[in-house]
Amino acid sequence: MKNELFKLTANQLIKLYKNKETNPSEVALNIINELDKKNQKLNAFVDYDKEKILQQAKLSSDRWIKGEIKGTLDGIPISIKDLLITKDYFTRRGSFVESLPISSNKDAPVVKKVLAQGAIILGKTTTPEFGHKGTTQSIRYGSTLNPWNTKLNAGGSSGGSAAAVAAGLGPLSLGTDGGGSVRIPCSFCGLFGHKPTFGRVPAYPISPFGTVANIGPISRTVEDGALLMNVIATPDKDDWYSLPNENINYNELNFDNIKNFKIGVFKYWGMKNFFNEISLDNEINLVFENILNELTKDGLLLDMSNKISWPSNPADIFKTMWYTGAANLSKKINKEELHKIDKNFLQFIDEGNKFSVFDFLNAEAKRAENSSYLSYLFEKFDVLIGPTMPVLPFDHSKVVPKNFNSKDLFSWTPFTYPFNLTKNPSSTINCGFSKSGLPIGIQVVAPIYEDKKCFLISAYLEKIFSLTNTWPKSI
């Protein structure tokens, strides 16, 4: 068992620590061995320091011996996406740009919170430059590969974090989600990931993409995701958007009333009205239909009679927000360095410079209208469910799947970014596999501020389909 400590969840490790059956130093050594074997192949981590890891683990082991642990994450290894600032590691954001600061004298609020609870920071994970797209190809570090099939991509932009957790390189990771960047890679890598209600998890500095961006947990199980969420979902003085503390325990999940829940089923999330080419991969459709059958057999109240009719096209709104964010960020970069930037991001900058401040304000107004529409829809439903992605993982060298518009990097991710715009909490959970063994995620969306409902339904799906013990065979 000690050779496979890397396969254990955070909650399993805590139980072993309590029973003195292992300790953080043993776990850290085991994960370092896995890192050495797997990271060269996967490119999940851009930076990790064995000595730092072992030093943290030794301190944690000593605390467990003395019975003086810091908190709920003491001795739990966790990775950090390389968009989040850290004192002990450079933050390069997947970029060669040197005019933006790469070092910091403070940790991001979420990093500060997990350290205060005794977590062991494993290092920084790969991101595409500035987290700008739904695949993880970094101009600086290269492509992150999918542990389920290393010819395919891990999704993005938190692909490094998702690949790390899926491969057993730490049970937890902190990712960011500006348009699906936690949910997309978690769906591709067979994990649980959560995009919180905006403001629920504090951020600093604010993302260049503004109020569509969030920080969320990535884990193999809902229980582990809840453990991390309990730590990070508290306000911080550095984030003026952060919501008041509501003392929610995301691990206190009661299934007793779940059969009274009204669940809206939306196969295309109202986006087929705007993308003629959208269709579900046949294997995703089959898995999704099977899920609905199983839930119906189990007595859940599913309603498939409604449609989402967005007042305004979420794709147009999102592009306005995203492109103007890219253009604004470019103003902080020395002009002499612009040639170093990913060509896709340069395209975003060019597009963003075409918009006026009035275009941006109009997009914000339409965004608010869509959010209000969804709030009224939630008068009928407790949660909404549907596929997380319309496609399976694809070639790691491509930025869009086959048969999608290569000039539109958001054409293949239409199910995730609408909820970044509306600020609703949404999770993804693995609920099946394709014939070739690729994970298929289901998205759960809840009313604003009701993140716990995402955890509850995700945990229920996890319980029914019991896929958390299935491991990738390609690494």
Q: What is the pLDDT of residues 355-373, one digit of tens each?
A: 999 999 999 999 999 999 9
DSSP symbol at 224: H
pLDDT for 36: 95
3-class secondary-structure state, position 230: helix
CA distance 212 to 216: 13
* β-pair type (77-81, 172-177): parallel
Q: Which amino acid is at 184?
A: I
Residue numbers of the chain with a pLDDT score lower than 70: 1, 277
CATH topology of domain 258-465: Amidase signature (AS) enzymes (3.90.1300)
CA distance 119 to 57: 9
Check: CB of residue 161 under 8 Å from CB of residue 174.
yes
Check: CB of residue 156 under 8 Å from CB of residue 127.
yes
- Name the residue with tokens 């109240």: 301
DSSP symbol at 469: T
| φ and ψ of 149, to 5 deg | -165, 105
Check: CB of residue 157 under 8 Å from CB of residue 168.
no
pLDDT for 1: 58
Q: Are 2-232 and 258-465 the same fold in CATH? A: yes
Catalytically active residues are 81, 157, 181
Find the largest Cα–Cα distance for the chain.
62
Q: Give the CATH superfamily of 2-232.
A: Amidase signature (AS) domain (3.90.1300.10)
- The residue extents of the domains of the chain are 2-232, 258-465
Q: Where are the alpha helices (DSSP H) in 180-313?
A: 183-189, 222-232, 282-297
b/e sequence 144-153, b meaning 16+ C-beta within 10 Å: bbbbbbbebb
Q: Which amino acid is at 67?
A: G
DSSP symbol at 413: -
- The model's pTM is 0.98
Q: Which amino acid is at 176?
A: T
pLDDT for 474: 75
What is the dihedral sign for C-alpha 408, 317, 269, 127? positive
The gap from C-alpha 425 to its chain's centroid, in whole angstroms, comes to 12
pLDDT for 201: 98
